[in-house]
Amino acid sequence: KLDTPTKFNLTAAFYTFSISFTKTTYIIFLLSNGLNRLEVHLISSIFTITTLSLEPITAVYAEFFGTKKSFILGCFIKVIAVLIFYFGSSFNLFIIAEILSAIGMTFISGCLVAWMVDRMKTEEKGSEIFKVFESRERYKSIAFIIGGLSGAFLGEYSLKLPWLGVAITMLITIIISNF
């Protein structure tokens, strides 16, 4: 079993690694599936609108059922979303995938930090919280760079592969968060 700071940093790093896989190929992927620039922008806008609309509702879920459950649920929803991107090839499917991705994001937003702070307080390690946050940012930055480069590398073979990379690493994130 991992100690709380290690578990938190690994989970945050793998989550960041996971979501960064498609950062370098997202727009090219959508365009390669026959979408025009307006449709690409509409899909991106839908993510923002969905996130802003649902954030308060998913925050209530986290309060009632716990931040860990909210985080894991959000990760599972993100896996479903990226698999729709992976198998999809139409504007309508991409809208569904983007809405699901945004819903997943709202379940995840802030939960990992709140979960870690609660655990650290329970373990009477509250004085270590800022040290953990500091190291978290370093790990996330490294994970973001490696994830983006990995996605670009996979995208050279197929623009669908980065989506599969997200799904696999998101499942690994769920596993790590349960140790």
Which tens digits make up the pLDDT trace of 24-72?
Answer: 999 999 999 999 999 999 999 999 999 999 988 888 888 899 888 999 9
pTM of the prediction?
Answer: 0.89
Which tens digits make up the pLDDT trace of 80-120?
Answer: 999 999 999 999 999 999 999 999 999 988 777 777 777 77
Distance CA 78, CA 100 (A): 7
